Amino acid sequence: SLISSNFICSQEIQHTEEFFIKPESRVAQLDTSQWPLLLKNFDKLNVMTAHYTPLSSGANPLKREISDYVRSGFINLDKPSNPSSHEVVAWIRRILRVEKTGHSGTLDPKVTGCLIVCIERATRLVKSQQSAGKEYVGIVRLHNAIENEAQLARAIETLTGALFQRPPLIAAVKRQLRVRTIYESKLVEYDPERRLGIFWVSCEAGTYIRTLCVHLGLLLGVGGQMQELRRVRSGILGEKDNMVTMHDVLDAQWQYDNNKDDSYLRRVILPLEKLLTSHKRLVMKDSAVNAICYGAKIMLPGVLRYEDGIEVNQEIVVITTKGEAICLAIALMTTAVISTCDHGIVAKIKRVIMERDTYPRKWGLGPKASQKKMMIQKGLLDKHGKPNESTPDSWKKEYVDYRWVQGVWLLHSGQRGALCSEGWAGCCHLCLEHVSPAGPGAGGRSSTHQSPHPVLGMGYGALVRGIGLCTFIKQREAVAVLLILGIFSFRDASKKEAAAVPRGVSELERAPKVSIVSVLWL
C-alpha cells in the first residue's frame, strides 16, 4: 500500500508540474575554442565513444622536443627575388642541417612571396600543398594607352573561369595546351601615364600569370606583359600567417646553436598540423594509432570522435587525442553512416604522416591472437598462421579469418572501391577462395577445366569464376595474374592429355582438348 501511494503521488506530480530544460547563458564546461591546431573546437565533434586507455607516448605538436619539432614542421617563407625556388629550399636545408626539404609550388626567380618549405616528415604533405589554390598580386604593363580604367577592369573580370593556357617560353616544362581555372580576379589600381595596372587574382595551382597578362593585352587589343608578381597566398596560408624571411631562419638557428634558446626557432617553424586545419577530422584511440602507421584499415571500433559534414571520397585527416596528425585518408562513410554503425571501414589511408612506433604496438594481444602465436611456435600452424597437417580439427572448424569475410561483405554490399584497395594479390586470394566449388571436379565432370590446378590446387572452373569476379570489381592486375596462370595450366594439361592418347589415333583426335571457356579467355 505504501508503494502504491508513492506511485500515485509521483503520477500526480508529473501531471501537475511543468518540466522543461531552462535556457542558460553559461558556456560548456570544456571550452576548446582557443585550443591549438587540430584540437580547436574539439568539444563540438560527435562522440562515438568516450572510453579509451590514454598512453603516455606522443606529444602535443607545439610541445614536441626541438629535434622532432623541426623535423615535423614547415616554414611559411617570404621568397626573395632572384634566387630560384630550388636554391632557396637548398639553403634552408643547409641552415637547419636536415636531410629532406620540399616546397609548395615553384616560383620563378624574379617572383617573390609565399613559399611553403616543408621539412623532413612534413614533406609527405608537399603534393597536397602543390595542388592547393593560390593567390597573386601582379603588375601588368600595357604596350599602348587604353580609353579608361574601367575598360581594363572589365577585361580582367572577363578572364575568369576555365581558360586555355600554354606555358611561356621561359617555363621549364613541356609547352602543351592546358586548362586552368581563374576563380576570381579584380583590378586594384591603374596608372594611365605609365600604363601600369595592379591586379589581384585567385586561381588554380599551375596557372601562369605571365600568360594571363599576355591574354589580357590581346583582349584589350594593345598588347601587354607581366612586369612584377608576388604570391600572397598558398593553400590556407597567406602573408599574415607567420611569414618569415631567410634572415629570420638564419638568426633562429644561430640563436639555438650559440645560446641554446629554441624559442625563436619555434616561432619561425610551424607544426605540419597547421597545414591540415581545413580538413574534416577523425579522432582515433591511442591503441589504434600505431596500427594505422603500419597500414591497418581505419575501422569504426577505433574511432573516438568524428566531425560533421564528412562525405564519401572526401579527404580527411586522422588525428590522435593529443592533436597529432596520423595520416590523410579518403572517407568511405558519411557522418550519418558513422553515427549509425558499430563496425566497418571508415576510411582508406591516402598518406601516412606519423612515424612508425611513435606509439606502442597494441595489436595481437587478444585471446585468439595469443593462441594463434602459441600454435605457430609449436608448429601447429605455418609461419603465416595458416593451417597445416598438424593443425587440430577444432581450430579449423572454430577459427574464422575475418579478412576475407570482410572482403565478401564489401563485395556484396557494393563497396567495390574498398575491396579494390586490397590490391591485386588480395583480390586473387579472395576471389579464388570464395568462388571455389566444394572440391576439384565438383559437379561430377572430369573435363580439363575441372581438374585440379597444379599451382593453386583448385578446379579450373573456380579459376575462371575468379577471373570473372576480379573483372567485376575492376582489378586488372588480378585478372592478368589469374589469366596467365590459367593459360599455362591449360597448356600443360592439354600436353598431358595429348601424350596419353595411344598410338594409331588420328592427328585430329590427338589434338589437345581445350574447353571453350579457355579459348575465349585466350
* Active site (catalytic) residues: 108
Q: Over 466-517, what HEC string results? A: HHHHHHHCCCHHHHHHHHHHHHHHHHHHHHHHHHHCCCCCCHHHHCCCCCHH
Paired strand residues for 229: 138
DSSP letters of 315-349? EEEEE-TTS-EEEEEEESS-HHHHHH-SSSEEEEE
DSSP letters of 345-364? EEEEEEEE-SPTTSS---SS
Q: How many residues does the chain have?
A: 522
- Residue 407 · residue 419 · CB < 8 Å: yes
- Residue 424 · residue 398 · CB < 8 Å: no
Cβ atoms within 10 Å, residue 302: 23
- Residue 243 · residue 114 · CB < 8 Å: yes
Cell of 429: 586470394
Cell of 161: 573561369
Cα–Cα distance measured from residue 97 to residue 85, given in angstroms and rounded to the nearest whole number: 18
Which one-letter amino acid corresponds to residue 244? V
DSSP letters of 47-96? ES-------S-S--GGGS-HHHHHHTEEEEEEEPSSS-HHHHHHHHHHHH
Q: SS3 of 180, please?
A: strand
Q: How many helices (H) and strands (E) does the chain have?
A: 19, 17
Residue position matching grid coordinates 622532432: 68
- Residue 179 · residue 255 · CB < 8 Å: no
- Residue 465 · residue 473 · CB < 8 Å: no
